[in-house]
Structures are given as structure tokens and as C-alpha cells.
A and B are shown apart, each in its own frame.
Chain A
Amino acid sequence: MSLLLLIVQTLNGLQLGVLLFLIAAGLTLVFGVMDFINLAHGVQYMLGAYLAVMFYTLTGSFLAALVLALLASLAFGLLLEFAVFRHLYERDHLEQVIATFGIILFLNEGVKVAWGASPLSLPVPDAFSGSVVLMPGLLYPVWRIVIIAAGLALAALLYVLVTWTRAGMLVRAGASNARMVSVLGVNIRRLFMIVFGFGTMLAGFAGIMIAPILSVQPGMGDTVLILAFVVIVIGGIGSIRGAFLAALLIGLVDTLGRSFSVDILRLVMAPSPARTVGPAIASMLIYLLMALVLFFRPAGLFPAKGRG
């Protein structure tokens, strides 16, 4: 367990954290404002990655692919909202879960039909390929740093939008009491479309940015979706600040747990059982964390004001 490894894994955890934040931000706002559980948020992330690969093969430029994939993600998200989701807002959570689960099934299979079942990959843009020496003996891939920076910048932008603008104020008010906001004469449907479109683009952006690191394949959104739900529940539904802190926490706990659980267990038990128990405990850690948080704070760490 060297210091260098610790730093590298902390950076990796940070990178996973900002990625989760990009996905969780849209999820928590949609959930907070419209009380709508959107399981299909994870497939938006997958779709972002696929669209990026497709536009990259068409144009040969990462920047063009990024812009086009973002626009296409937005268009697709709004199409889904128009065709299906807006008919579900008044329904109970269970019905929302089933309908959006159906959309997951459809899209996971749909990308298989459109782009094949085998994993695709996207090259890292030339300007950001390779690694950089952070300190003597510590090489770190530039692209991961770009992801961290972009994620933090977007988090700052979201913070400014939500705290300082009129739309942000309405979003916060909507998260506390959507009906009251509607009674006060705000077109909550339009507000929701904006929030939803924005959230979709953030999830798509996360997919695009991660595509050069992960393999792009059907079902890649499912794992991330569950992690994002863990994040918004720990953070408190409807709270951007909660989502940000919880995302970093989950990213770090998961990454560090996976790299060091075996070493830590070895201090207290024999190497061979430690090797089998370690990974299990590591995968369990974030759920353990969630159960603990909910035990002491049943509405998450930063519940939106006015909610339980």
C-alpha cells in the first residue's frame, strides 16, 4: 500500500465521483422537482457513449462528435419526455419504475441491433492522449484529469445556475414543493422540460467523456444507474449539493475499497481468506454506507428544504 498508489487511486476515485455526479445531478433534479423516478436515466448515459462513437466514425473529430452527440442526446431525451414520460408524472412511483424499466429493456436491446453486441471503443483525442508526470514517479493519464476538470467545472456551473439564477431558484422551490410553485403561477411543465433536457445532456456528456476509457457496450448504463441512485439517496433527493458530496464520497469509497480491501484485511486475517472476502466487502461497501446513512438520516444527508 504505497503512497503513490494511494494518490493514483484517490484520483481515480475522484474521477468516478465526478462522473457519478454528472449522472446523479439530472436524476436528483428530475426526481426532486417532478417526483419522477426515471430508471431510463442510465441508458441516456449509454446512448451518449454510443452516439459519440457513431459521430466520431462519421466526422473523425472528437470535438464534432462531442457536440453532435450532446445535441442528439438532448433531442432523444426530449423525444422520450414527449412520447412517454409526461404521461407518467401523475402516476405513482411503481408505475414509473415499470414504464422506465421497459424503456431500459428496449434501448439496451436497441443499441445491440443498431451497433452490434460487441463492445466498441473511442480513441482518446490526440491533444489529451498519453500521461503526465504529476510528481516524480507518478504518471497519470491526461484524459482522466480532463474528466475530473470538466466534471468539477460543470459542478461549479450548476452551483451558480441553481443558487444565483431565477430558473435555479424555481428549481429549488420545485424540489421543496412543486405544487406550491405551480399555484404561484409558474409553468412547472416547462420548467421540468428544461430540467429534464439539461439532466439528459449531463448524463449524455458523462457517457461521451467516459467512452475513451471504458468499452462502450449494451447494459453499461445499468450499473451506473444503481450507483447514481445510491448517490442521490445518500445526498438527499433534490439536493445538488448533496448529490455532489455523495458522488465524491461514493467514488472514493468504492475505488479505494476495491484497491485496498485485501491489503487491509490481511492485517487481521490470513492471506487466502482475505483474497476471497476482500473483493466482496469492497463491492458491498457503498451499500453498507447507504444503509448506515439512511439508518441515522432517513432522508439522506442534505434533504431538500420542506421534505421529510
Chain B
Amino acid sequence: MTDAALNAAPRRLLARRAGLWRPLALFAVLLVLPVVFGAQADYALSLIERVMIFAIAALGLDLIVGFGGLVSFGQAAFIGLGAYAAGILAFHGFGDTLLALPAALALSALFAAATGAICLRTKGVYFIMITLAFGQMAFFIASSLAPYGGDDGLTLRARSTILGFAPLADERVFYYVTCAGLLGIYLLCRALIGSRFGRVLRGAKENPTRMAALGYEVFRYQLVAYVIAGAIGGLAGFLLANATNFVSPAYMSWQRSGELIVMVMLGGIGTLDGAIIGAAAYILGSEYLSQLTEHWAMLFGPFLVLVVLFARGGLIGLAARLRRGAR
């Protein structure tokens, strides 16, 4: 396929038609990085782990924002719920992945189902605000959990075990497990979007009335998508708790939800690849700038404004335009 045809295609289809070179390159880089970093690189590894964990959550968000048109401003709550499920179970001595991971997924999915059923009654800006409201509620509940540290958070003694063994204690093993999680979620999202379910979801974004007239119960499809995105957030939370050995209400703050939206936008909304690229650009970019100057936000803020003003479609859109310009 030529680039011209690619650019003519609607942006939301980009991910499917752009072929495989971008995700293949992304995951190839992720796979070889630990080898490149060498032996004494736990800091670099944990930084990339952070990127991958937030990329997982951003993929979930892109699923509902980019393909469902549902702008959730409370996505960080699901990360927090997954993290707390893992943290609280570990606190009581049930630190095994076989228990903690399903618990993290179930808790975040349940919360998504309960709040999503209410949130989806509203549209547009009201949806943004009501998801924010539930996110804030989760935040304040976590802050009040005095037995589990309250505002200060909860420190985990060790990473989750697997059937009693502790392979995740090795930074490299944990890195590759996280990478496998990201790959799994990426493939899941791609499959979902290509499926009939995904087409209904995209149709509902473009024109919910028409989808309803075609006989689809839009609400149900959107709720399922919302629950899936929530569970994906829960997985990210489980991994985050293990990566940092720490759980805190700060994981759920509205600023975190805002950051997730920024990541998705920065990479290129509705492209899936963009969620991963955006998470990497946001985390590595802010890390780099914060080493240059303590006032990194003064550089990063205007950068975001410039991205919105001049790079529509995020970094992926910008790259496509540059290619077209070079031709």
C-alpha cells in the first residue's frame, strides 16, 4: 500500500492498515533493551518497566477514547484498584500471583461495571466529569484505608510469587513478564478493534443514533468496552504495585488520569501504537527534562501546547505528515 492511500484512510483505521512494521519495531526494541543495557542497569530497566506499565493502561484508555469516543477522566482509579488489590492481599500474606492477579482484574472490572453503568447515561463533557467523580471517590476511599497506610500508602515486602516461587524478584524476569503483558494487551486490543464488537463500538462513536437504529444496543457495547478498559487498568496496577513494591492513593489522583489522556493524545489517538509511543514519549521525555532542569514543567507544558497546535494526530500523525512532506 502506498503512503498516499494510507493518509487518505481515516486515522482510526491507520492501526489496521499501516501493517506491522511499527509494532514489530516497538516490541523488538523492548525485547533487546535489557541486553543493550547490560548487567548493572536496574534503574534503566525499571524506567522502561514504568513505560510499559503505563502503556498497558494507555492502551485500555485508547480502546474507549480513540475507538469508543468515551473520554474517561478517571482511568487512574483502575490502576489504583489493581495495585491495592495486590497490595492488600500481600499485606495479609496472600502474595501469590495466581490469587492477586485475578483479584486485581476482578476488582477493577467490577468497579468499572458498577460505575460505567451510571457514567454511560451521560454524554460528552458530563461523561468526562462523572468519570472524574468516581475516580475521586476511589482516591478518597484509598486515602481513608488507615490499616493499609492511608495517605502514606503501603509498602510491599516482596514481589508477588508464582506458586510459591519468586521468579519476579529478578529484575530481568519481571521486565520480560511486563513486556509479555503489554504484548498480550496490545494483541487483545487489536483483535477487539478488528472484530464485530470493535466495529459496533466505532460505529457508536461516529453516530450512536444510527447504530441504535440498526438494532444494536449501544449502551451494552460501550459498557463492555468500559469494563475491558477498566480490567486492563487493573492489570497495569497489579504490575505497578510489583514494580515499585509500593501502593499509594497518589496512583489514583486526577492528575494521573490526566497524564494517561496526555499519553494517548501525544502518541496519536485511536491508533493503539500511539498509546505505547505516547507513554514512552511522556515518561522518558519528562525524565530527561527533569534531569536537565528542576523546572522541567516549564518546558514540557509549552511542548504539549505545541503538539496540540501543530501536530494533530500526535507523534504518529506528525510522522505521517513529515513523510508526506519529504516526498
Asked if chains A and B come from one complex, the reply is: yes
A284 within 8 A of B: yes
Within 8 A of B (CB), among A227-286: 229-230, 233, 237, 276-277, 279-281, 283-284
A290, B304: Cβ atoms closer than 8 Å: no
A164 within 8 A of B: no
Contact A103:B301 (CB < 8 A) given known A94-B261, A287-B134, A294-B121: yes
Give chain B nearest CB distance to A253 CB in angstroms: 14
12 A-B pairs besides A237-B126, A287-B137 with CB distance below 8 A are: A88-B308, A94-B261, A98-B261, A101-B258, A102-B302, A102-B304, A104-B301, A226-B254, A276-B146, A280-B144, A284-B137, A294-B130
A308 within 8 A of B: yes
**Surface stretch bound by B, among A3-11, A108-116, A148-156, A177-185:** A108-116
**Surface stretch bound by A, among B182-190, B209-217, B219-227, B292-300:** B292-300
30 A-B residue pairings within 8 Å (CB atoms): A31-B125, A93-B125, A93-B128, A94-B65, A94-B265, A95-B265, A95-B308, A97-B258, A98-B304, A99-B308, A101-B258, A105-B297, A106-B298, A106-B302, A106-B305, A109-B295, A109-B296, A110-B298, A230-B129, A233-B126, A233-B129, A237-B126, A276-B146, A283-B143, A288-B137, A291-B134, A294-B121, A294-B129, A298-B126, A299-B122
- The residues of B that contact A98 with a CB separation of less than 8 Å are 261-262, 265-266, 304, 307-308
B141 within 8 A of A: yes
Within 8 A of A (CB), among B100-147: 118, 121-126, 128-130, 132-134, 136-137, 140-141, 143-144, 146
Contact A37:B121 (CB < 8 A) given known A94-B65, A276-B146, A284-B136: no
Tell me the bound Cα distance from A287 to B137 in angstroms.
7
- The residues of B that contact A294 with a CB separation of less than 8 Å are 118, 121-122, 126, 129-130, 133
Give chain A nearest CB distance to B322 CB in angstroms: 20
Chain B interface helix/strand/loop/mixed? helix
A109, B298: Cβ atoms closer than 8 Å: yes
Q: Please give the residue numbers on chain B whose beta carbons come within 8 Å of chain A beta carbons, in ascending order.
A: 65, 71, 118, 121-126, 128-130, 132-134, 136-137, 140-141, 143-144, 146, 150, 254-255, 258, 261-262, 265-266, 269, 295-298, 300-305, 307-309, 312
- The residues of A that contact B265 with a CB separation of less than 8 Å are 94-95, 98
Tell me the bound Cα distance from A35 to B308 in angstroms.
17
B133, A230: Cβ atoms closer than 8 Å: yes
The 3 A-B pairs of least Cβ separation, nearest first, read A280-B144, A106-B301, A102-B304
A84 within 8 A of B: yes
Chain A interface helix/strand/loop/mixed? helix
Contact A102:B301 (CB < 8 A) given known A91-B308, A93-B125: yes
- The residues of A that contact B122 with a CB separation of less than 8 Å are 294, 298-299
- The residues of A that contact B65 with a CB separation of less than 8 Å are 94
